[in-house]
Structure 1
Amino acid sequence: MLLALSSVCIFFVGHAQQFSGNATISALMTKKTVSAVFAFGDSILDTGNNNNLRTLSKCNFFPYGRNFVGGKATGRFGNGRVFSDMIAEGLGLKTLLPAYRDPALSNNDLPTGVCFASGGSGLDDRTAKIQGVIWVPDQVKDFQAVRTQYTVSAYTDLMVTWTDNLLKSLYAMGARKFAVLGTLPLGCLPGARNIVGNLLKICSVFANQEAATFNQKLSSNLNNLGRTLPGAKFVYVDMYNSLLNLINNPRASGFIDVADGCCCMPTSPIPCLDASRYVFWDYGHPSEKSYKTIVPKIIEEIKAKLA
């Protein structure tokens, strides 16, 4: 389950000054406004980059995109728009963040930002090599080989180091403002709750502790980078508690189901009629309404800390 931690979701926000044909970026930051957003990460942010890759990690088919404009499956891992779209909209840029590998991408899309994220990718190359939709319990089997080499503490340290290196490389290319997402409460994802034998579908305390450990180390590292990299600003985006609040208090936001996905699981072979009543769309991805519920507060925090 900890393999899911090896994905990183990063927003580089600022002003994109120049682009080459291969989208090599030379970026300068404005002091008070955000004029571009670039997303790096996994399926939480992917807006369609996997569609034309030789991989089974795709979702450009029904019922994905059921609540998207026109009911079109675009390669977003959910029933509608995803987190990266809503961040771009919340920052006043555009309602949809286009995928960099979309053949229809135009040069006009680049100055305000694009999405580089790829579903199934991660900081660990072993994660990136997994080509298929992997149910969370199956990830435990893959992780068994890693636990023979690292303790949870050592592995989370390693992943923070990978993130640190990635951020520094972006900084060296001119990026100065970063929003970095922590991982979700992995033990409460429907895939984890529906492990055989978990009849009460309770959250995995162990998996949540692993996720919280990683998030704490990531947040501390970002604070350190903010002090050591001149002119750089970092904001840690707390996806863990933002989503956990919905899970623990679903009815306050109009949700009725937190343990199952609306779609694409053994518990829901036929998609539910109303995805807005579910915190999760499938085994591991929040529904569009979940994103819409947690994004406003996150947007305000990003604006305040990156101004």
Structure 2
Amino acid sequence: MKLSYSSSSSLTIFLVSLFLVADHGGARVTLPANVSFPAVIAFGDSIVDQGANNNLKTLIKANFSPYGKDFVAGKPTGRFSNNKTPADMLVEQLGIKELLPAYLDPSLDDKELLTGVSFASGGAGFDPQTSQLAGVLSFADQLNQFKEYIEKLKGIVGKERTQYILANSLFLLVAGTDDLANTYFDVGIRRLHYNISSYSNLLVSSASKFILDIYKLGARRIGVFNAPPIGCLPSQRTLSGNGHRHMCAKKFNKAAQLYNNKLQTELKRLNSTLIQSRIVNVDIYTPLLSIIENPQQYGLEVVDRGCCGTGTVEVAVLCNKFLPACLDDSKYLFWDSYHPTEKGYNILINQLLGKYINDFF
């Protein structure tokens, strides 16, 4: 497999812009009668990267302290959080297993393969340029790994059971933020040929093609996360808050809304044309903005900066053991300047499960 890896100078440009922005025991949610998810399978970016980037030649990593501060034994695993990711929370809430491993985890065994893995790579995007700039796994790479995974399943349980697992598993597709925040706005290489509307079309077209690709391979229940209020991420407040760090950057949020509207329209079209599909538009924008605007309602105190360091620019290698972390991350929505804390994720996932779980059946 060929990895998308750019020159060190490109990586430096990307990271500088990013930094300147940028108990398992049965299901805990109630599913419809006589249905279940045998596995969860994730694609996308750092939100559901379970450690895929650990051994890649990229600076977009989180396999060092203080990442994983609240994980088992305080172990950094490559997850871009102080503890678990949304992918972990979903498999646990669905009663499948405690953690969702990365497909590239060297300790992966047959049982883990049967109950799901993540192919996601921090820094990836629907735009191939996004992954190339970051030196991470592109969606083409993730798709190739998925094909390899399917063959492994066939070797373990046979073709018929593999088809059943794929048709009934929950697929997660989480991307778009890095495309908009970094590739389009901060690095700016796409602005030479696209305005934000045409660039949104490019992203939606790429997402649609990927959904069709995994559908052809057997996926049926697919949850597609839209873009969050990007302008309210601490990194974007720092970079584009017009000198007011406590204000969200409006142009980023408007871009996210434009992309989200187009994505929703395309997902409705796919859902109506792909037989037996359950393609669900998972709105993350609205609930995250609600938390940001009403933090006390959710037991949070700090929403405009992350827990790591100053919380304004620190992410990936800039969030490291040489920087102080906040004393109580449970009061913070964001762990670093780009990713929520485990508490933030928990609030979101609990809301999303209650709202969307029945749409997959």
Give the whole-Å Cα distance in 1 for the aligned partners of 2:56 and 2:306.
26
Task: Give the unaligned 5+ runs of structure 2.
Answer: 1-13, 19-32, 137-177, 315-322
1:253 counterpart (290, 298, 315)? 298
Q: Does 1:237 align with 2:282?
A: yes
Q: 1:270: how far off?
A: 1.6
TM-score for both structures, normalised by structure 1: 0.85
Q: 1:266: how far off?
A: 6.2
Q: 1:131: how far off?
A: 3.0
Q: Tell me whether 164-173 or 52-61 shows the greater mean CA deviation.
A: 52-61
SS in structure 1 at match of 2:110:
coil
1:47-68 alpha-carbon deviations (Å, 9 max, x no partner): 1111111111111110000011
5 Å-filtered alignment, 1:15-164, equals 32-131=35-134, 140-143=185-188, 145-164=189-208
Give the whole-Å Cα distance in 2 for the aligned partners of 1:120 and 1:198.
26
Q: 1:301: how far off?
A: 3.1
Preserved CA contact (<8 Å) 2:181 2:252: no
Give the whole-Å Cα distance in 1 for the aligned partners of 2:126 and 2:245.
33
Preserved CA contact (<8 Å) 1:264 1:283: no
Q: Does 1:276 align with 2:325?
A: no
Preserved CA contact (<8 Å) 1:222 1:234: yes
Counterpart position of 2:160: none
Give the whole-Å Cα distance in 2 for the aligned partners of 1:137 and 1:211.
9
Distance 1:300 1:199, change over 3 A: closer
1:33-60 alpha-carbon deviations (Å, 9 max, x no partner): 2111100000001011111111111111
Counterpart position of 2:229: 185
Q: 1:241: how far off?
A: 1.0
Counterpart position of 1:305: 359
Counterpart position of 2:213: 169
Distance 1:122 1:31, change over 3 A: farther
Give the whole-Å Cα distance in 1 for the aligned partners of 2:52 and 2:195.
33
Matched residue pairs, number? 279
Counterpart position of 2:145: none
Give the whole-Å Cα distance in 1 for the aligned partners of 2:245 and 2:228.
21
Q: 1:217: how far off?
A: 1.1
TM-score for both structures, normalised by structure 2: 0.73
Q: 1:259: how far off?
A: 0.6
**Higher percent of residues as helix:** 2
Counterpart position of 1:18: none
* One-letter code aligned to 1:243: L
Q: Tell me whether 192-201 or 226-235 shows the greater mean CA deviation.
A: 192-201
